[in-house]
């Protein structure tokens, strides 16, 4: 008889939120976010690494060999990745931005949004923004797809698990709105509508990445690649934050199409990945 894989979703999310929020809320008060002193950098990175650390901690203390094997298979087994889906996302996300910009011009926004950005749209102290984007994709997905989503599927179907995760993933970013010069802080200073859009936009992304993961046998490496594509694509053009509200609507449509066309992924009894 194969060993049962048992997850602890409550412990994971409580631990992840408690540590991340403590680190990120404390960072601008205990450290210097403008000059990015060592205390600030350490707290910011600690919060960013927390989803992975939480997942790894719970996997290790579970003493469940099947769970450990599953995690490392999903992380390192390149055979899990369907490279055609990578190609799809290389087209999908740039296309969502291009279409959003074209629609925005109907409301008076400029075609100059197609200008290739010569710098990133935000910074956090002295941390290189490219490094932030890549580290975020890596350490978030190690936790999110390495443990979080799968833990929720023990009690919910894949659609429900993804919806719950999307909401929690969105709220996880809350402290970033109080980090000076962060992308989220700039949205808060600009218009509260943009803040709402940020939180809403993450939910369709959760569904899109969930669809991809199911098509790639739960590959964590694949999820990291997709998350990296999303992060870097969002910084490629000089796009108005209001145009990104339009992009959110497009992402909702894309997510809905995936759910409707591939219902078995979200509502069926698709076989879970085994080690």
Helix (H, G, I), strand (E, B) or coil at 127: strand
| C-alpha–C-alpha distance, residues 194 and 184, integer Å | 9
| C-alpha–C-alpha distance, residues 236 and 228, integer Å | 12
Q: What are 155's two structure tokens?
A: 């009690």
CA angle in degrees (0–180, nearest 5) for 86-229-204: 90
| C-alpha–C-alpha distance, residues 137 and 230, integer Å | 9
| C-alpha–C-alpha distance, residues 55 and 145, integer Å | 10
Residues in the chain: 275
Has 227 been annotated as catalytic? no
**Which residue is catalytic, options 3, 8, 119, 140?**
140
| C-alpha–C-alpha distance, residues 102 and 96, integer Å | 10
Has 140 been annotated as catalytic? yes
Q: At what angle do helices 129-143 and 38-62 cross, to 10 degrees?
A: 20
**Which residue is catalytic, options 3, 8, 150, 173?**
173
| C-alpha–C-alpha distance, residues 187 and 181, integer Å | 10
Residues with a known catalytic role: 140, 173
């Amino acid at each position: 008889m194969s060993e049962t894989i048992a997850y602890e979703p409550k412990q994971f999310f409580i631990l992840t939120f408690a540590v991340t929020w403590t680190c990120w809320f404390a960072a601008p008060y205990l450290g210097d976010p403008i000059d990015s002193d060592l205390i600030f950098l350490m707290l910011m990175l600690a919060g960013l690494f927390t989803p992975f650390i939480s997942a790894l901690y719970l996997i290790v203390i579970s003493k469940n060999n099947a769970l450990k094997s599953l995690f490392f298979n999903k992380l390192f087994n390149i055979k899990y990745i369907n490279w055609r889906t990578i190609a799809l996302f290389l087209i999908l996300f740039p296309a969502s931005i291009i279409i959003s910009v074209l629609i925005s011009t109907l409301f008076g926004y400029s075609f100059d949004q197609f200008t290739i950005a010569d710098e990133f749209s935000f910074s956090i102290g002295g941390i290189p923004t490219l490094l932030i984007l890549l580290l975020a994709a890596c350490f978030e997905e190690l936790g999110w797809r390495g443990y979080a989503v799968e833990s929720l599927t023990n009690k919910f179907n894949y659609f429900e698990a993804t919806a719950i995760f999307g909401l929690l993933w969105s709220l996880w970013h809350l402290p970033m709105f109080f980090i000076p010069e962060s992308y989220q802080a700039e949205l808060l200073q600009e218009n509260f509508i943009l803040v709402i859009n940020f939180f809403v936009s993450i939910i369709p992304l959760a569904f899109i990445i969930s669809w991809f993961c199911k098509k790639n046998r739960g590959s964590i490496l694949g999820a990291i690649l997709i998350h990296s594509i999303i992060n870097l694509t969002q910084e490629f053009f000089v796009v108005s934050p209001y145009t990104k509200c339009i992009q959110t609507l497009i992402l909702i449509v894309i997510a809905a199409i995936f759910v409707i066309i591939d219902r078995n992924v979200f509502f069926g009894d698709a076989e879970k990945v085994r080690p």
